[in-house]
Structure 1
Amino acid sequence: WWECMTTTDIEDLRQKSGGKLAGSRFELGETEKPTKRKRKAGTQAAHPTLMEQFKGINASKIIKVSELLKGKEFCVINGPANYPKLTLETKVAELGGLIVQNPDLSTLCVIAEKSTVRVNNLIKNNRYDIVKADWLIKVVESMTWIPWSPADMIHVTPATKKVFQQGFDLYGDSYTLEATEEELQSVFHRMDVESVCQEAIAELEEEYFPDDSPYGLFRTCRIYIDNNLALGNPETHIPNSPLDLLQLELRFFGAGVSETLDTNVSHIIVHESDFSRVSTMKEIRSSRPKNKFHIVKENWVRDCMKEGSICPERTYEP
């Protein structure tokens, strides 16, 4: 109630405002100068930019140390942890090469360490050779130009594929260059070879090498070595068994060696110093209506090697 106005106050206010509901400070008799309202400084919106690891190098600040890559243009997509994109680009520029962020017709190749969406799109485009970053690292570290090989490539253009077909076989092994052990292992890993059973190998040997090679002597045999305390249980292997070395020799001469006494076993080799499991072997053999096996002493193997042919098993059974 202490803020109430009298009728005199209301009449005075009406006369000053001319009937308006609001008036300026001057109209209302206030003599203080109005203060200017400060505009609140707006925050500038951050514009999207390319992350540093995807930006190219500033070639003008790089000191050239060689002309090894002079006239060659590269587009580096990514690299391994120890040679990231910027490091690879710097090395290329130091060796006189050119770097672009988008390949074109003058680009020698695209360098990549791992597959990304961009790499997959370039593969679909099929216009550029895409080379593994390891190849460029080998060039940089050896300071020597190394021609491409199929093992260096992630993707090849039709033109490069024709060049490779003239100098390399289907699995990337060179017709003319000597291969290191590591390169041969790489070639073997690229081979998609179907497994061949022992019988098929034996037929091939019989057809093409009937008298030449003794290393397929036991090719038709599937052998169980009696070097376990419990039959067919490798976990009970007898330490330092005298048959262990014989097992390696049998493999060398083409035998298939089984760790269990399965139905495909044709021979069991026992050592003359331990016939404790022979009775159990004979019981198992008797219980089988077919696929029976021979039980022979270890000297049967030696005699077969001497004769160069499979000796009759009956005289060697314990």
Structure 2
Amino acid sequence: MTADSTILDPETDDEIVVIALGSDTVGDRLDKALARATTAFSRARLQALFDQGAVARDGIVLSDGSAKAVEGVYEITVPPVMTAEPRPEAIALTVLYEDAELIVIDKAAGMAAHPAPGNESGTLVNALLHHCAGSLSGIGGVARPGIVHRLDKDTSGVMVAAKTDRAHAGLSALFATHDIERTYLALTRGAPSPKQGRIETRIGRSSSDRKKMAVLKSGGRDAITDYVVQQIYGIPARATASPMASRVACTLHTGRTHQIRVHMASMGSPILGDPVYGSGSPTAAVRAAITEAGLARQALHAAVLGFVHPTTGERLRFETPPPADMTLLETLLATL
């Protein structure tokens, strides 16, 4: 028995074809079994996708289409087809650092990293193409020049982009080996307990909602986040009760899709304003503060980015405060 469906990755806008292979396919050649299960790809196209590392089962990338099929759920990631190259747009950027090799910016909330269907303009790539006068690394492809890593559209904070291919390769290697300092500030419902610790799980696509990521017992990929509760708001009268909200500093040791959002939710303290992982509702007082602050996104800010310059070897570190919506929300939470 086989079945397939198509979903959209919430972060990258890649199309993901999900194929469930049943026991009747066990032992068949994998690329043939997948080709029979869907009309989305020819066998030749599937072979190319295997070569690109775009086929995975239970979070594990598969590279050999000639291998024997096993029962399970397979995900085939297909980048969106762009009808045209992104155009330079005169969008204001907050530049923290720039040289001939790379540029570091403080990305505003609401700005996507790169164009995608339904979001073809107003992105960081459009802004960088104008600001850098076309001097961006082409390794990321036509739609994503210079992009080495991404922040969610509605997450603000520090990002680095490559202006040359050698900077792109060097930065990508640092991200791949996790030799990057990355700390985020999150405003959460309640507070994780204990107040300081390490969250070490596996993260992959949720089996109940394939558009979301989730902590998995098996499959997925290793995900490690260190966290510290820096401040609590709405201190409860009883010592055993939880505060209304908190500010948490989260340091990434891996970079999985929605990692901090998933990890905070797994601790029972989802990020305030998160439309995807913010299960449960904060108190009425916190909801009122969110409304008054005008927060219309997850309260998450990439505050620190540190790395060794890929060509000069200089140690660089950048730190920015949260933008106005999070700052005002904290001010209001402090009065609870």
Shorter-chain TM-score bucket reads: under 0.3
**TM-score when scaled to structure 2?**
0.20
Query: Larger % of helix: which?
Result: 1
Which of structures 1 and 2 has the larger relative contact order (alpha carbons within 8 angstroms, sep 6+)?
2
Higher strand proportion (structure 1 or 2):
2
TM-score (norm 1): 0.21
Query: Which protein is bigger by CA-based radius of gyration?
Result: 1
